[in-house]
Amino acid sequence: MLKVTKAEAPRNVAPDGQEPRSWQAARIDLHKMLTQSAPHHHAATARQHYAQLNKTSLRQKLTEEQRGLCIFCERRIQNDHRTRVAHWVPVSQEPSRAVDWANLYGSCSAAETCDIHQGARQLGIPTPVSVDYRRLIHHSFDGSLEVGQLASAKLSQLEVAALDRALGDATKPEDPQSTLNLNRAELRSARKAALEGLTNGLERLLGSGKWPSDKLKRILKAMEGETNSTPFPGIQTTYLIHRLRRA
Ligand SMILES: [Zn+2]
C-alpha cells in the first residue's frame, strides 16, 4: 500500500466546455444538497453530484500524487480512463465524503484486486495519508504481505483485523473474501520479482559484501523522490531500510 502525501485538489473540476468550478465549490454544493435531502437519499444524491465532476482532472492529479502507481497494489497506473478514482470510504457508507480530497485515490482497474474487488465494502482502515502502511505491513522475500508487529501499536483491534482482511490469505492463490486481495499469487510474484530486480541491481553496483549506508541512503532518497516511481516501492524501500539498519 502506497505512502502518499495529498496535494491540493484540482482547481477546476467542471466538465470540459462548462464554467470553471473549484473543488471547494463542489464540496460546499454537496453539503448543501445533503442537508436538503432525506437521509435515505444521501448516497444517491452524493453519487449523482460526484458523477458530474471532471474525472480527467481528478485522475491527473491523483496519478501525480501517487507517482504513477495504484494506491493499493502499487502497480503502474496511467493518466487515462483505465485508472479508477476510488473512494477510500465508499460513498454508500459516508455520502458526505464523496467530494473529500483526502478520501480520493487512484486505483488500477484489475478486476480481482483493489478498487473493483473492494466494491461497496468498507476497508475499515485509516487512509494512507494518516498512516504509513509500509511500517505496518510486513513484506516477505517471497512477495507476500502480512500485518506487521507495529500495527497493533498504531491501529485499533478492529483496524488490525480489517488490515488483515485487506491483505488476504497468502497461503492461497487468491482470497475472494479479502477486501483488496493484495496477496493474490500474481501480485506476490510481481513483488518478489521487483525485490530481486533491486537486489541484483545493487549487487552489480555495490558488490556482494557490506553495502555502505551513505550509498543506500542516496538510493532510498532517489526512489522516494521519483515522479514516476517504479512499481512495488513498498517491498523495495522496506528492504533498503532493513539493509540500512544492518549497514
Ligand atoms: Zn491496484
Determine the Cα–Cα distance for residues 84 and 124; give it in Å rounded to an integer. 20
Determine the Cα–Cα distance for residues 131 and 88; give it in Å rounded to an integer. 13
Distance from Cα 38 to the centre of ligand 1, integer Å:
35
Q: Please check whether residue 30 is in contact with residue 96, taking contact to mean a CB–CB distance below 8 angstroms.
A: yes
The two beta strands, 104-107 and 84-87, are antiparallel
Output the 3-class SS for 98-136.
HHCHHHEEEECCCCCCHHHHHCCCCCCCCCCCCCCHHHH
Distance from Cα 165 to the centre of ligand 1, integer Å:
16
Q: What are the φ/ψ torsions at residue 75 (nearest 5 degrees)?
A: -80, 165
pLDDT at 61: 95
Determine the Cα–Cα distance for residues 169 and 146; give it in Å rounded to an integer. 9
CA proximity to 224, closest of 70, 1, 74, 3: 3
pLDDT at 7: 85
Domains in the chain: boundaries? 23-118
Distance from Cα 28 to the centre of ligand 1, integer Å:
30
pLDDT at 247: 75
pLDDT at 196: 97
pTM metric for this prediction: 0.94
pLDDT at 223: 86
- Given phi > 0 = left and psi -120 to 50 = alpha, else beta, which region is 17? left
Distance from Cα 79 to the centre of ligand 1, integer Å:
14
Determine the Cα–Cα distance for residues 43 and 89; give it in Å rounded to an integer. 12
Q: Please check whether residue 22 is in contact with residue 74, taking contact to mean a CB–CB distance below 8 angstroms.
A: no
pLDDT at 229: 83
Distance from Cα 210 to the centre of ligand 1, integer Å:
35
The tens place of each residue's pLDDT in the chain, 247 residues long, gives 998 999 889 999 998 899 999 999 999 999 999 999 999 999 999 999 999 999 999 999 999 999 999 999 999 999 898 999 999 999 999 999 999 999 999 999 999 999 999 998 999 999 999 999 999 999 999 999 999 999 999 999 999 999 999 999 999 999 999 999 999 999 999 999 999 999 999 999 999 888 899 999 999 998 887 777 889 999 999 999 999 988 7
Helical (H) or strand (E) element with 87: strand 84-87
Distance from Cα 224 to the centre of ligand 1, integer Å:
19
- The CA-CA-CA angle for residues 138, 140, 141, to 5°, reads 155
What does the DSSP 8-state code read for residue 168?
-
Q: Please check whether residue 84 is in contact with residue 107, taking contact to mean a CB–CB distance below 8 angstroms.
A: yes
Distance from Cα 149 to the centre of ligand 1, integer Å:
24
Residues counted in the chain: 247
CA 140 to chain centre: 19
Q: Please check whether residue 49 is in contact with residue 29, taking contact to mean a CB–CB distance below 8 angstroms.
A: yes
